[in-house]
Amino acid sequence: MPERHERILDETEAASWVHDGMTIAVGSPAPMMLLRHIIRRGVKNLTVVDSGLSLDLLIAAGCVRKVVSYYAGGGFGVPVAPSFRRAVERGEIEVWECEEGILTTGLQAAAQALPFLPWRGGVGTSLPEINPDLKLMQDPIRGETLIAVPPIKPDLALLHAATADAYGNVQHCGGPGWLDLFLHRAADRTLVQVERIIPNEEVRANPWATTIAGADAIVRAPYGAHPFYSRGCYVQDNAFLRTYVEAATAAQTGKPESLHQYLTYYCREPATHGDYLERVGIKHLLGLYEY
Amino acid sequence: MSESFSTREIMIAAAAREICDGEVVFVGMRLPLVAFAVAKALHAPTAIGVFENGVLRDRSATQPIVTMSDPPNLDGALACTGLLEVMSLLQRGRIDLGFIGGAEIDRFGNLNTTLTQGVRLPGSGGAADIASFACRTVIIMMHEQRRFQEQVSYRTSPGYGNGADWRTRIGLPGGGPSKVVTSLGVFGFTAEGEMQLESLHPGSSLDDVRANTGWPLLISADVGETRAPSIEEIQLIRRFDTLG
């Protein structure tokens, strides 16, 4: 039998997969360890499929040229992701506007290597006017008006999950939820950071729990989704996220110092994920238990 | 015997009353989440809540949740499915009621959550799909003149378009907005799809509503006062609305 190849990368190797100008898709919870490496390396001109505060952080750090955007909410008292808002209003980033159903339809078109798939949501909205890639069409069967959604095809999907074996068989804890599998199926390659690497036999013991068979690479990342949650491991660090939102909001009103500090102290200075976790503090991290 | 209550509390109470027993409700975060919990405890014990992340639950979460994927929203759920599953429920017409909000609304109940004069907003999320496919929607908004425009500058989530049979003509299967619960009152829609005042919250006046609405508003012939939240409703709201 030919020998199987292990697909474990260290965090620096993994981060070197991301190049200037690529299209990356970010899963949920966001693979923050990898995103912090992207920021540290100063990657530029990314097209990003993502929403919320992980997207906002990449924009704040100057990594983003274009966003495939269906929702950029802020939370913590701020309705709109603050850096996203500022960058769009100043014309610094381009937005490929869509909505949730259209996003999943475009990802599915990429997964099936089709030129488009139809979706009805968005008919009667302003979307086709501001995103000329979305074409109103008459369906050839019943003549109904639908939207033809072109493929949304990331070069790389970056995901976070609970466990995987060395060969890239991923088991999300409590199901993949949200968009992770849409992103994986659409992308050319999938890179998954995990809380823990498990023996291959443990995967075989419960193959129904395998959510992605054969991701292209696996990276160890205990607490790697911090400040977001990781099911089966820890909850979202709302106090920490609030600090970011406040800093990013202040930057919007001409006070960029705390945002710069945040980016320097948590993203640019720590050379490794271990260095980052040290800055956050073990006591703080251990307080994020689920139950 | 009455208890004083806030604007937020009467909005939650009014939204909760829109949920009927046995209905499948696309809930959402914040205010509708509290309304759902209140309705479950009072008049809609068998209603089922559906969340965008695929969670289906027939019990309210016992702990506060900030995001729909927080553990308390997963614990005790009936099912944790995925986006495709709940989008399919929507498209097959199996969601009775969906709650949505917006930054701007117009006289035909179209919503804008994408951009207004130079200001960038979050975008649709799943709201355009809920507005297109749910059997009916209830819209919750603060009532301010800048938000109540004769015509929204950008249509994120379709209401009744430009009125009359617009939804049927363009092929939207869902029923459209049934109510708008604002900080000043509760509004319904005429057969022509135009928003109409149905009740004023205690303490707000017709003048307040007119001054904060950017078009000549229709007023129902039997406009009344929104029923003040009962003591029971207020207690439940305060129990569930822990995040303020």
| Three-state secondary structure string covering chain B | CCCCCCHHHHHHHHHHHCCCCCCEEECCCCHHHHHHHHHHHHCCCCCEEECCCCEEECCCCCCCCCCCCCHHHHCCCCEECCHHHHHHHHHCCCCCEEEEECCEECCCCCEECCEECCEECCCCCCHHHHHHHCCEEEEEECCCCCCEECCCCCCCECCCCCCCCHHHHHCCCCCCEEEEEECCEEEEECCCCCEEEEEECCCCCHHHHHHCCECCCEEEEEEEECCCCCHHHHHHHHHHCCCC
Residue from the list A97, A178, A229 with its beta carbon closest to the beta carbon of B114: A97
The pLDDT confidence band at residue A74, using thresholds 50, 70 and 90, is: confident
Residue B191: its pLDDT value, please? 96
Residue A71: its pLDDT value, please? 95
Domain check: are B44 and B124 in the same one? Answer: no
How many other CB atoms are found less than 10 A from the CB of residue A129? 11
- Closest-approach residue (CA) in chain B for A68: B123
Q: Is B175 on the interface with A (CB under 8 A)?
A: no
- The CATH number that applies at residue A187 is 3.40.1080.10
Domain check: are B220 and B236 in the same one? Answer: no
Domain check: are A175 and A111 in the same one? Answer: no
The pLDDT confidence band at residue A205, using thresholds 50, 70 and 90, is: very high
Domain check: are B79 and B114 in the same one? Answer: no
Domain count, chain A: 2
Domain check: are B108 and B211 in the same one? Answer: yes
Instruction: Give bridge partners of residue B188 from the DSSP assignment.
Output: B196
Lowest mean pLDDT across A50-64, A115-129, B50-64: B50-64
Q: Is B155 on the interface with A (CB under 8 A)?
A: yes
The alpha carbon of residue A221 is apart from the nearest alpha carbon of chain B, in Å, by 20
Indicate whether B243 pLDDT > 90: no
Indicate whether B1 pLDDT > 60: no
Domain check: are B108 and B170 in the same one? Answer: yes
Indicate whether A109 pLDDT > 70: yes
Q: Is B176 on the interface with A (CB under 8 A)?
A: no
Residue B29: its pLDDT value, please? 80
| Higher per-residue confidence, A89 vs B30 | A89
Measured CA distances, B62 to A84, A196, B123, B188, B239 (Å): 34, 30, 30, 33, 10
Domain check: are A124 and A209 in the same one? Answer: no
Residue B2: its pLDDT value, please? 65
Q: Report the relative pairing of strands B111-112 and A145-149 from DSSP bridges.
A: unpaired
How deeply is A251 buried, as exposed, middle or buried, from its count of CB atoms within 10 A (0-12, 13-18, 19+)?
buried
Q: Report the relative pairing of strands B55-57 and B79-80 from DSSP bridges.
A: antiparallel
Region B131-147 average pLDDT:
97
Largest interatomic CA distance in chain A: 63
Domain check: are B210 and B232 in the same one? Answer: no
Domain check: are A170 and A253 in the same one? Answer: yes
Tell me if B155 and A124 make a contact (CB, 8 A cut-off): yes
Region A114-124 average pLDDT:
97
Region B113-131 average pLDDT:
94
Tell me if A89 and B118 make a contact (CB, 8 A cut-off): yes
Is A164 among the domain residues?
yes
Is A140 among the domain residues?
yes
Region B156-162 average pLDDT:
97
Tell me if B128 and A125 make a contact (CB, 8 A cut-off): yes
Domain check: are B220 and B105 in the same one? Answer: yes
Indicate whether A207 pLDDT > 80: yes
- Closest-approach residue (CA) in chain A for B243: A76
The alpha carbon of residue A280 is apart from the nearest alpha carbon of chain B, in Å, by 21
Domain boundary among A87, A121, A149: A149
* Known catalytic residue at B85: no
Residue from the list A70, A98, A121 with its beta carbon closest to the beta carbon of B132: A121
The pLDDT confidence band at residue B75, using thresholds 50, 70 and 90, is: confident
The pLDDT confidence band at residue B69, using thresholds 50, 70 and 90, is: confident
Domain check: are B215 and B181 in the same one? Answer: yes
Domain check: are A57 and A108 in the same one? Answer: no
Q: Is B87 on the interface with A (CB under 8 A)?
A: yes
A51 touches A179 (CB < 8 A):
no
Domain check: are B123 and B185 in the same one? Answer: yes
Q: Is the dihedral of CA B69, B71, B76, B82 positive or negative?
A: positive
Domain boundary among A118, A149, A180: A149
Lowest mean pLDDT across A59-68, B54-63, B107-116: B54-63
Domain count, chain B: 2
Lowest mean pLDDT across A27-41, B11-25, B77-91, B182-196: B77-91
Domain check: are B112 and B61 in the same one? Answer: no
Domain check: are B220 and B107 in the same one? Answer: yes
Residue B221 tokens read as: 């012939």
What mean pLDDT, rounded, does chain A reach? Answer: 96
The pLDDT confidence band at residue B107, using thresholds 50, 70 and 90, is: very high
B78 touches B116 (CB < 8 A):
no
Q: Is A229 on the interface with B (CB under 8 A)?
A: yes
Is A1 among the domain residues?
no
Give contacts of A 119-148 with B, CB under 8 A: 120-127, 130, 144-145
The pLDDT confidence band at residue A241, using thresholds 50, 70 and 90, is: very high
Region A207-236 average pLDDT:
96
- Tell me the residue range of the domain where A257 lies: 11-96+153-286
Domain check: are A91 and A190 in the same one? Answer: yes
What residues of chain A lie within 8 A of the CB of B54, using their CB?
Answer: 175, 177-178
Instruction: Give bridge partners of residue A286 from the DSSP assignment.
Output: none
Indicate whether B241 pLDDT > 90: no
The alpha carbon of residue B221 is apart from the nearest alpha carbon of chain A, in Å, by 31
Tell me if B119 and A125 make a contact (CB, 8 A cut-off): no
**pLDDT tens per residue, range A145-181:** 999 999 999 999 999 999 999 999 999 998 776 899 9
Q: In b/e form, how buried is each residue of B170-187, taking b as 16+ CB within 10 angstroms?
A: bbbebebbbbbbbbbbbb
Is A217 among the domain residues?
yes
Lowest mean pLDDT across A1-5, A41-45, A115-119, B89-93: A1-5
Q: Is B51 on the interface with A (CB under 8 A)?
A: no
How many other CB atoms are found less than 10 A from the CB of residue B20? 14
What residues of chain A lie within 8 A of the CB of B129, using their CB?
Answer: 99-101, 121
Q: Is A234 on the interface with B (CB under 8 A)?
A: no
Indicate whether A212 pLDDT > 70: yes
Tell me if A177 and B84 make a contact (CB, 8 A cut-off): no
Residue A1: its pLDDT value, please? 55
Indicate whether A80 pLDDT > 90: yes
What residues of chain B lie within 8 A of the CB of A88, using their CB?
Answer: 120
Residue B244: its pLDDT value, please? 56
Among B191, B185, B94, which residue's Cα sits nearest to residue B140? B185
Domain check: are A86 and A107 in the same one? Answer: no
Residue to mutate among A89, A99, A211, with most B CBs inside 10 A, is A99
Indicate whether B101 pLDDT > 70: yes
- Phi, psi angle pair for A78, to nearest 5°: -115, 115
Tell me if A70 and B167 make a contact (CB, 8 A cut-off): no
Indicate whether B65 pLDDT > 80: no
The alpha carbon of residue A13 is apart from the nearest alpha carbon of chain B, in Å, by 31
Half-sphere exposure of B236 (CA within 13 A, CB side): 21
Region B83-105 average pLDDT:
95
- Tell me the residue range of the domain where B50 lies: 1-95+227-244
Indicate whether A84 pLDDT > 70: yes
- The CATH number that applies at residue B211 is 3.40.1080.10
What mean pLDDT, rounded, does chain B reach? Answer: 93
| Residue found by looking up tokens 């909205």 in the block | A125
Domain check: are A135 and A64 in the same one? Answer: no
Domain check: are A81 and A195 in the same one? Answer: yes
Domain check: are A171 and A235 in the same one? Answer: yes
Angle at A86 between CA A150 and CA A25, to 5 degrees: 35
The pLDDT confidence band at residue A77, using thresholds 50, 70 and 90, is: confident
Active-site entry in B9, B52, B104, B194: B52
Domain check: are B52 and B164 in the same one? Answer: no
